[in-house]
């Protein structure tokens, strides 16, 4: 629909049913509202025309949502408040500081696009950190938990800000939406949830989507005591402004979050890839057009004499010219170059290289691995007040199910160390938001077996933030997670997860085998600028052979530097975690028989120290990789492939692997032993390769 029809003389005047009247706004304010509503609509129209011309590839319109978005934009400050928009929030982000040129730089996928440098689809809004609009992703609903995280950071650091987060009504079917409302309501956090209900999630009507009374999101969320709820006409700017003002007053009073269900209209198809005429009747579309928020606004301001048609025409002419200029300039801007495609997966600042590693010799009293982890947390929290620790059951007196966090909440207080809800996606999503706000969350996932509800937050959010924002935003979240078997934990307390997460660019992964490395690597993880998955083998927590002299508070272990724990000449054995010890003890036994095995503990999965591995293989001529995860697609397969690819001419035998069988890990000891690698078989496999 062309916005030229927004001139009020083409329609009957629409009555102002809101409690605000034009007299309560200055002329400048009303002109601003109209300017950005019209700008958003014309950008929608221009984008579709460019797509038809083959100059762009995708657009998703916000036409019909402009009124409530402008009400919000007039009342929030993107320099102090946080804005987590969804793909239809064009009018809001324009009012918040995104320019038409910014929009079209992304539309044309240009190198200078401030949102992502050409890395994301159009309408994935984001800014540099001068404005609090973090890079938006495509999965619907993931942003809700991040908004809770920035709000929690504001509350914990006593900062006066509100976190705005929005979506369409369809996204409220996602679990992360409900988890976010639950967390925000329980802690009375300053979050403004806005659901822009245009009644269609692509082609699925709200009646097939929401279980609330009358399919209302407002009604569905009635059970939260601290959540202030509003159901408004989102096509009426004046009503929207009044209700958003009331919601923000409630939030800023500290009473809790607020949720606004804004009934809006979708005047265009879901996206440029959709045709809503396939599933909507012409009568329904015409009814929506009669509620066009721009026509309603102009009808009111002209009828009440607040603005003249000539003033509106002047704005339209200026905006049209500005958009044409923005398109021209953006189209002429440089494209990204192919050599930048791999940039900013991880931090490139050189920060990690400036840390001082292994500068002291561990010489303290012998310490078990779980206590080494506990001490690392205590030491780093004492020197960095930005570190916040949370997860399930981690506060005192429990102190974590393995006591890894004991004493932390007693020493540092419940503001910095606290129990989370039993919801893994919440833990990771909220931590991501806190990291965006400048904090350094260290979270615990109680068992690796239960990390999977959070996988979307890891794969599509935490790991991609730096890359998708073209290095504008970073999220240094450390996730401590207990993994591994040999404890008779059955199917759901024995899993290894490293190979799955190793497949996700943007995550660092540590997997220590002893107390020294556990403490040194964890302290390093808490100082790096990238997200870290820190795998802690439960079977090693109190194991005698993993007990080592404790390093001091200055001891750091570098990521990407393997350790040769035993030198040898006949075979290279690469391992990590619990199976490292089976390999080491097997090598000791083989040494008594006259064989020499070199044992390498890789210590970190990502980055992997290939150089140490290759140098060893070139010396020994043989290699076997031993790990606890499944044989098929375990991380050992990756190591073996790299050895074969890079050391083939030095090999005197096949690259072997020994790992768990491709089955789930059962409870009964005799069954568990049949699945997991054993020390006896480790010894046999190494010897067999030596004798090849």
204-205 vs 200-201, strand pairing mode: antiparallel
Helices 175-187 and 142-156 cross at an angle (nearest 10°) of 20
Which among 493, 537, 627, 664 is annotated as catalytic? 493
Phi, psi at 233, each rounded to 5° = -85, 100
Relative to beta strand 604-606, strand 508-510 is antiparallel
Instruction: Kindly provide the residue ranges of all beta strands, DSSP E only, lying in 392-505, ordered along the sequence.
Output: 417-419, 440-445, 478-483
Beta pairing partners, 442: 389, 478
Measured between alpha carbons, how far is residue 564 from residues 362, 455, 574, 576, 578 in Å?
Answer: 17, 33, 9, 11, 16
- Burial environment of residue 304 by CB neighbours within 10 A (0 to 12, 13 to 18, 19 or more): middle
How far apart (Å, rounded) are the C-alpha atoms in residues 202 and 8? Answer: 30
Q: How far apart are CA 510 and CA 518, in angstroms?
A: 9
Residue whose pair of structure tokens reads 């050992």 in the numeric block? 636
Strand partners, 626: 575, 658
Preceding omega of 205 cis (within 30 degrees of 0): no
Write the burial class of residue 511 (CB in 10 Å: 0-12 exposed, 13-18 middle, 19+ buried): buried
According to DSSP, the β-strands at 548-549 and 508-510 are: unpaired
Return the bridge partners of 397, or none. none
- E strand intervals along 484-541: 508-510, 532-537
**What are the backbone dihedrals phi and psi of residue 163, each rounded to the nearest 5 degrees, phi first?**
-105, 115
- Give me the numbers of helices (H) and strands (E) for the chain, helices first please: 24, 21
Closest CA to 176 of 458, 501, 457: 457
Residues found in the chain:
692
Positive or negative: CA dihedral 156, 158, 161, 162: positive
Q: Which of 423, 503, 476 is nearest to 181 (CA)?
A: 423
Active site residue 493: yes
Q: Give me the active site residues, please.
A: 493
């Amino acid at each position: 629909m062309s916005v030229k029809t927004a001139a009020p003389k083409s329609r009957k005047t629409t009555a102002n049913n809101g409690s605000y009247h034009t007299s309560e706004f200055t002329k400048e304010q009303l002109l601003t509202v109209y300017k950005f509503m019209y700008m958003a609509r014309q950008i929608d129209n221009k984008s579709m025309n460019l797509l038809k011309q083959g100059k762009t590839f995708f657009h998703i319109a916000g036409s019909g949502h402009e009124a409530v978005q402008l009400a919000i934009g007039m009342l929030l400050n993107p320099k102090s408040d946080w804005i987590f928009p969804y793909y239809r929030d064009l009018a809001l982000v324009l009012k918040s500081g995104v320019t038409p040129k910014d929009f079209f730089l992304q539309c044309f996928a240009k190198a200078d696009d401030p949102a992502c440098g050409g890395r994301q689809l159009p309408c994935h809004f984001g800014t540099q950190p001068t404005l609090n609009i973090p890079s938006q992703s495509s999965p619907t609903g993931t942003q809700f938990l991040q908004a809770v995280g920035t709000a929690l950071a504001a509350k914990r650091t006593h900062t006066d800000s509100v976190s705005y987060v929005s979506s369409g009504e369809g996204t409220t079917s996602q679990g992360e939406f409900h988890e976010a409302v639950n967390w925000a309501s329980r802690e009375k956090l300053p979050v403004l949830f806005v659901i822009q209900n245009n009644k269609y999630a692509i082609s699925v009507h709200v009646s097939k989507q929401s279980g609330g009374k009358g399919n209302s999101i407002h009604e569905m969320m009635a059970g939260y005591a601290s959540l202030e709820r509003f159901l408004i006409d989102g096509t009426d700017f004046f009503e929207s402004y009044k209700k958003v003002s009331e919601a923000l007053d409630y939030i800023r009073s500290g009473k809790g979050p607020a949720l606004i269900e804004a009934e809006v209209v979708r005047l265009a198809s879901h996206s440029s890839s959709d045709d809503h005429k396939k599933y909507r009747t012409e009568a329904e579309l015409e009814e929506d057009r009669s509620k066009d928020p721009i026509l309603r606004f102009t009808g009111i301001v002209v009828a009440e004499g607040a603005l003249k048609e000539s003033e509106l025409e002047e704005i339209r002419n200026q905006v049209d010219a500005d958009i044409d200029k923005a398109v021209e300039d953006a189209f002429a801007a440089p494209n990204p170059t192919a050599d930048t495609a791999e940039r900013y997966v991880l931090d490139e600042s050189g920060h990690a290289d400036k840390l001082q590693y292994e500068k002291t010799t561990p010489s303290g009293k012998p310490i078990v691995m779980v206590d080494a982890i506990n001490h690392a947390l205590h030491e780093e929290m004492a020197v960095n007040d930005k570190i916040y620790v949370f997860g399930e059951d981690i506060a005192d007196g429990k102190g974590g199910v393995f006591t890894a966090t004991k004493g932390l909440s007693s020493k540092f207080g419940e503001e910095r160390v606290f129990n989370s809800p039993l919801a893994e996606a919440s833990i990771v999503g909220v931590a991501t938001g806190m990291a965006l706000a400048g904090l350094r969350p260290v979270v615990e996932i109680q068992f690796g077996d239960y990390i999977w509800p959070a996988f979307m937050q890891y794969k599509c959010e935490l790991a991609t933030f730096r890359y998708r924002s073209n290095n504008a935003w970073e999220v240094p979240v450390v996730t401590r997670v207990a993994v591994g078997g040999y404890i008779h934990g059955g199917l759901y307390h024995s899993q290894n997860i490293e190979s799955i997460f190793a497949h996700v660019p943007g995550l660092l992964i540590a997997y220590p085998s002893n107390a020294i490395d556990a403490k040194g690597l964890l302290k390093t993880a808490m100082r790096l600028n990238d997200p870290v998955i820190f795998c802690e083998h439960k079977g090693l927590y109190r194991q005698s052979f993993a007990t080592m002299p404790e390093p001091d508070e200055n001891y750091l272990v570098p990521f990407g530097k393997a350790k040769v724990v035993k030198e040898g000449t006949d075979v290279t054995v690469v391992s990590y975690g619990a199976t490292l010890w089976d390999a080491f003890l097997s090598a000791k036994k083989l040494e008594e028989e006259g064989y020499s095995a070199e044992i390498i503990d890789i210590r970190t999965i990502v980055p992997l120290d290939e150089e140490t591995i290759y140098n060893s293989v070139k010396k020994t001529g043989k290699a076997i990789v031993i790990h606890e995860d499944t044989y098929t697609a375990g991380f050992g397969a990756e190591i073996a492939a790299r050895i074969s690819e890079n050391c083939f001419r030095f090999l005197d035998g096949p690259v072997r692997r020994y790992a768990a069988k491709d089955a789930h890990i059962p409870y009964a000891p005799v069954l568990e032993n049949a699945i997991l690698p054993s020390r006896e078989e480790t010894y046999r496999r190494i010897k067999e390769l030596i004798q090849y």
